[in-house]
Amino acid sequence: MSTLAIEEVEDKARAAKAAAQVLATAGTTVKNAALLAMAEALGCQSEEVLAANALDIAGATERGLSPHSIERLTLSPKRIAEMQTGLRQVAALPDPIGAVLSGWRRPNGLQITKTRVPLGVIGIIFESRPNVTVDAAALCLKSGNAALLRGGSEAIHSNIALARALGGALESVGLPRACVQLIESTDRAAAKRLMTLNGFVDCLIPRGGASLIKAVVETATVPVIETGTGNCHVYVDKDADSEMASAIILNAKVQRPSVCNSAETLLVHKDIAETFLPLVGAALVKAGVEIRGDAVTRALLPTANPAEEEDWLTEYNALILAVKVVDSLEDAVAHIAQYGTRHSEAIITENYAAAQAFTDGVDCAAVYVNASTRFTDGFEFGFGAEIGISNQKLHARGPMGLEELTTYKYVVRGDGQIRG
Q: By the 8 A CB rule, do 346 and 235 touch?
A: yes
Q: How many CB atoms lie within 10 A of CB 376?
A: 25
| Closest separation in Å from C-beta 116 to its own copies | 11
At 260, the amino acid letter reads: C
| Closest separation in Å from C-beta 256 to its own copies | 8
At 269, the amino acid letter reads: H
Q: By the 8 A CB rule, do 283 and 311 touch?
A: no
Cα distance between residue 49 and residue 42, in whole Å? 8
For 270, the enclosing helix (H) or strand (E) is: helix 270-286
| Closest separation in Å from C-beta 211 to its own copies | 15
Task: For its own copies, give the closer residue by CB, 150 or 397.
Answer: 397
- Give CA angle at 354 (349, 356), nearest 5°: 115
Cα distance between residue 161 and residue 68, in whole Å? 23
Q: How many CB atoms lie within 10 A of CB 310?
A: 9
Task: For its own copies, give the closer residue by CB, 305 or 314.
Answer: 314
| Closest separation in Å from C-beta 246 to its own copies | 11
| Closest separation in Å from C-beta 294 to its own copies | 23
CA distances from 393 to 209, 257, 380, 398 (A): 19, 25, 21, 9
Cα distance between residue 68 and residue 400, in whole Å? 26
| Closest separation in Å from C-beta 62 to its own copies | 36
CA distances from 31 to 12, 42, 49, 255, 265 (A): 21, 17, 23, 36, 44
Task: For its own copies, give the closer residue by CB, 282 or 412.
Answer: 412
Q: How many CB atoms lie within 10 A of CB 321?
A: 30
Task: For its own copies, give the closer residue by CB, 130 or 378.
Answer: 378
Task: For its own copies, give the closer residue by CB, 67 or 416.
Answer: 416
Cα distance between residue 115 and residue 268, in whole Å? 46
Cα distance between residue 342 and residue 365, in whole Å? 6
| Closest separation in Å from C-beta 272 to its own copies | 16
| Closest separation in Å from C-beta 119 to its own copies | 5
Task: For its own copies, give the closer residue by CB, 44 or 210.
Answer: 210
Task: For its own copies, give the closer residue by CB, 130 or 230.
Answer: 230
Cα distance between residue 260 and residue 333, in whole Å? 20
Task: For its own copies, give the closer residue by CB, 160 or 263.
Answer: 263
Task: For its own copies, give the closer residue by CB, 252 or 301.
Answer: 252
Q: By the 8 A CB rule, do 144 and 97 touch?
A: yes
Task: For its own copies, give the closer residue by CB, 316 or 368.
Answer: 368
| Closest separation in Å from C-beta 255 to its own copies | 6
Cα distance between residue 314 and residue 359, in whole Å? 23
Q: By the 8 A CB rule, do 134 and 38 touch?
A: yes
Compute the Cα dihedral for 78, 84, 89, 92 and give only its sign: negative
| Closest separation in Å from C-beta 172 to its own copies | 25
Contacting residues toward its own copies, per CB under 8 A:
21, 24-25, 104, 106, 110, 112, 117, 119-120, 198, 202-203, 217-218, 221, 223-226, 241, 244, 247-248, 250-252, 255, 337, 355, 359-361, 363-372, 374-376, 380-382, 392-395, 397-398, 407-419
